[in-house]
Amino acid sequence: MNNCQSAELRSLPTEQILPATYDLDRMSALEIARLINDADATVAAAVGRALPQIARAIDVVADCLRRGGRLIYVGAGTSGRLGALDASEIPPTFNIDPRRIQFIMAGGPRALGSSTEASEDDTAPAIAEMKKRKPGKKDVVIGIASSGRTPFTIAAVEYARRRGARTIALTCNRNSPLERAADFAIVTEVGPEVLAGSSRMKAGTAHKMTLNMISTGAMARLGYVYGNLMVNVWTKNEKLTDRAVRIVEQATGKDHESAAHALKASGNRTPVAVVMLAAGVTRSQAVAALKKSKSHVRNAIANAKS
């Protein structure tokens, strides 16, 4: 990093010193906890100021997935791990094909559990990983970097955009290179950290909140939820099967026995069971309605009833 780049980095709001934390190492445990809690209480407001851009991202992601595309997260360090976390949680929560939700992490999968921070400056692997995925017009790539300056993430986003993919930057600093590289940016301005420069704190919390909003919002727009219920939940173990029965009960207003019977008759496919009971149709009719609606449960119920 040259002197100019170093000076620019030091000037970022997220790199500044929070005066209230000067004596952090002299504080009691309760004082530290209270200080961090007070700082964290400002994060929701920072995310709130970016809601219009978050809503735009929800629609972009939903549109790309609706057309058969993929959602690909890119990041390094904490940012990359947050992207990987959301990518790993979306498939079991909404029963979407894991190939549709991917992540690219600087340093590769091993960086999820160990520090490979130097890899964030290497652009060649970012481009190579993105090339493997052959991004196109149906895909959306979300580049995550608190500073907005991570070379790995910028290179991946630039490559994807040149290939026609929709691109979104998620940062905590305005007018960054990553923002300029993407179609548009979501900027959660959280300011200085309690632990100076530690983006796993307020910045990480803001980005976790934002990614939750985008992925959950997109799945809701796609109809992978019914009301506020996870009607696409997997039934891979006893706990999830019990949850699926309760979801079928709540979604249809039927008793426990009827819900359990419908789930079994559906082949343990929760959305099929919901459509069967809510529309009063057979398993094959429910499956056909879901296929016609592209897995949109509410639309499938309406189709099955008509």
Please report the DSSP string for 53-80 in residue order: HHHHHHHHHHHHHHTT--EEEEESHHHH
**225 — pLDDT class (breaks 50, 70, 90):** very high
pLDDT band at residue 49 under the 50/70/90 scheme = very high
Q: What is the mean pLDDT of residues 9-34?
A: 79
Kindly state the percentage of the chain with pLDDT values over 70.
93
Topology (CATH) of 8-221: Rossmann fold (3.40.50)
Contacts of the segment 105-110: beta carbons below 8 A, 24+ positions apart? 105/75, 105/76, 105/80, 105/81, 106/75, 106/76, 106/77, 106/80, 106/150, 106/152, 106/153, 107/76, 107/80
Average pLDDT estimate for 212-229 = 95
Output phi, psi for 304, to 5 deg: -70, -30
236: pLDDT confidence band, cut at 50, 70 and 90? confident
Query: Which pLDDT does position 41 carry in this prediction?
Result: 95
User: pLDDT tier at 235 (50, 70, 90 boundaries)?
Assistant: confident
As a whole number, mean pLDDT of residues 177-202 equals 91
The token duo for 222 is 């796609």
Tell me which residues are annotated as active site.
Answer: 89, 120
Residue 75 has pLDDT above 70, yes or no: yes
Domain boundaries, the chain: 8-221, 238-305
**Residue 277: per-residue pLDDT:** 95
The CATH class of 238-305 is mainly alpha
User: What tokens were used for 193?
Assistant: 């950290």
How confident is residue 48, by pLDDT bands cut at 50, 70 and 90? very high
pTM of structure: 0.89
What average pLDDT does the segment 157-171 reach? 98
Question: What pLDDT is recorded for position 3?
Answer: 44
Two structure tokens written together for 220 = 């809701």
Q: Is-same-fold flag (8-221; 238-305)?
A: no
